[in-house]
Amino acid sequence: MSIKTPSIQNQNFYQSIYNNRFTWVNIFEKLMEIAVSAFSWSGFPNTIDTVYLERSLITTGKAVYFKSEKGIFRILLSDRSEAIFEMQ
């Protein structure tokens, strides 16, 4: 039993899939950088990474910014469609 080598047509097909995926990721990252740099945030402490916050808001549409019991500012993010937290 011999191993079949992919035909030229199949190689071209898989190469085009790779190229399309690479192009899509590249364009997505460029658009993300444009969106992130469109606004400047003011009033946040230096401990908060506003780029991280803005990227999460763009991709998931939700984030929670709060001051913890220890006085540290924090950001909670979610990558799922459920609520980030429940109000009690």
Is this structure's pTM higher than 0.75? no
pLDDT higher than threshold 80 for residue 87: no
- pLDDT given for residue 20 in this prediction: 95
pLDDT in tens, 13-43: 889 999 999 999 999 999 999 988 888 888 8
Question: Distance (Å, rounded) from C-alpha 83 to C-alpha 63?
Answer: 10
Question: Distance (Å, rounded) from C-alpha 41 to C-alpha 73?
Answer: 15
Q: What is the CA radius of gyration of the chain?
A: 21
pLDDT in tens, 50-62: 888 888 888 877 7
| Stretch (H or E) spanning 75 | strand 73-77
- pLDDT given for residue 73 in this prediction: 80
Question: Distance (Å, rounded) from C-alpha 48 to C-alpha 65?
Answer: 9
Three-class SS state of 14: helix
